[in-house]
Amino acid sequence: MRSRLGDDIDDFCVKCKRVMNHLVVSLLNDVPAKVRCRTCHGDHDFRHEQAPPPKVDARKAALIQQALAKTAAAAVDGAVDAGAILAATAVEPEAVPVLAGAAGEPPDSAAASVTEIAAPLKPSPPARKNSRAK
């Protein structure tokens, strides 16, 4: 079918990130070249209803592949249990700050800082009176 200027056409909108209704703005060899979204009024090249490829960071993709490989290796070795997965992703104990002692009381340094915070504040100076008479 031959397109004309002003025709309604479906295309992927880069601003709306969806396939939306568009108007044909320009033609090149009887094929739409530029279109205008009827929702956000943004102009862009005609994309033939194809979304652009996702932008995946190479480092992020490598980390995902590494995690999938660990999970697959654990599944091959035996039944996957939650303890094995948690052990593989556990945080080092040195990285977690100690917030309470053995009896649930704060350590000495934390107790000193709590005492300093709980100390009464200095009173604020009294408000100034307006010298202008009304």
pLDDT digits (tens, 9 = 90+) for 102-124: 455 555 554 444 445 555 566 77
Predicted confidence at residue 25, as pLDDT, reads 93
Please report which helix (H) or strand (E) contains residue 32, including its range. strand 31-37
In a domain, 80, yes or no: no
Task: Please compute the mean of the pLDDT values over residues 13-34 and round it to a whole number.
Answer: 91
CB 31 within 8 A of CB 4: no
Asked if residue 79 has pLDDT above 60, the reply is no
* 27 occurs within a structural domain: yes
40 is a domain residue: yes
Would you say residue 134 lies in a domain?
A: no
CB-CB contact of 34 with 63 (8 Å): no
Query: Count of domains in the chain?
Result: 1
For residue 51, give the nearest of 92, 2, 109, 11 by alpha carbon.
Answer: 11
The CA distance from 129 to 133, in Å, is 10
Query: Residue 35: which of 51, 120, 27, 122 has the closest Cα?
Result: 27
Q: Of 33-37, 71-75, 115-119, which range is least confident?
A: 115-119
